[in-house]
């Protein structure tokens, strides 16, 4: 009986404490803390192989669920390379297997590294950054 009373009293104290302290809106940190984004393919891959889906104008898939992305691009898997992350975003077709990569930053915006279509990437090539403080979507670093 005592432990049930103690748990109830503890829960009540947490609720009252939460009500007494006003909630403040989330704010961005004062300085940028950029984190590099790498291709989700181990081995060689190709950035926007055909030049038809550059990050500045690529379609937004996650918009169907209410998420507006900062940028998106197709990264094509070269022969012999493997997909590191889930195959859920791997698209297979006549043009070969590719990953539809969408980047969403929770506050402010992320950026992509501008490259020409068909540029070869490795698994150590930075393709963009999140945690940066930019003022708009779909722009290059």
Let me know: does 110 contact 70? Beta carbons within 8 Å: yes
User: In angstroms, how far is CA 136 from the centroid of its own chain?
Assistant: 15
pLDDT digits (tens, 9 = 90+) for 112-128: 999 999 999 999 999 99
Predicted local distance difference test score (pLDDT) of residue 81? 82
Q: Six-digit token pair at 77?
A: 């898997």
pLDDT digits (tens, 9 = 90+) for 19-67: 444 445 455 566 777 889 999 888 999 999 888 878 877 777 777 777 7
Q: Where are the domains of the chain?
A: 32-130
In a 10 Å sphere around its CB, with 0-12 CB exposed, 13-18 middle and 19+ buried, how is residue 48 labelled?
buried
């Amino acid at each position: 009986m005592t432990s049930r009373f103690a748990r109830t009293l503890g829960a009540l104290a947490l609720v009252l404490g939460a009500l007494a302290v006003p909630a403040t809106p989330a704010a961005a940190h004062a300085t940028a803390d950029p984190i590099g984004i790498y291709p989700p393919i181990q081995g060689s891959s190709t950035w926007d192989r055909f030049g038809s889906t550059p990050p500045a104008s690529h379609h937004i898939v996650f918009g169907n669920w209410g998420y507006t992305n900062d940028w998106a691009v197709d990264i094509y898997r070269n022969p012999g390379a493997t997909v590191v992350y889930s195959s859920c975003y791997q698209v297979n077709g006549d043009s070969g297997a590719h990953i539809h990569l969408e980047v969403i930053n929770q506050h402010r915006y992320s950026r992509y590294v501008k490259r020409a279509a068909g540029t070869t990437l490795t698994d150590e090539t930075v393709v963009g950054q999140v945690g940066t403080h930019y003022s708009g979507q779909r722009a290059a670093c």
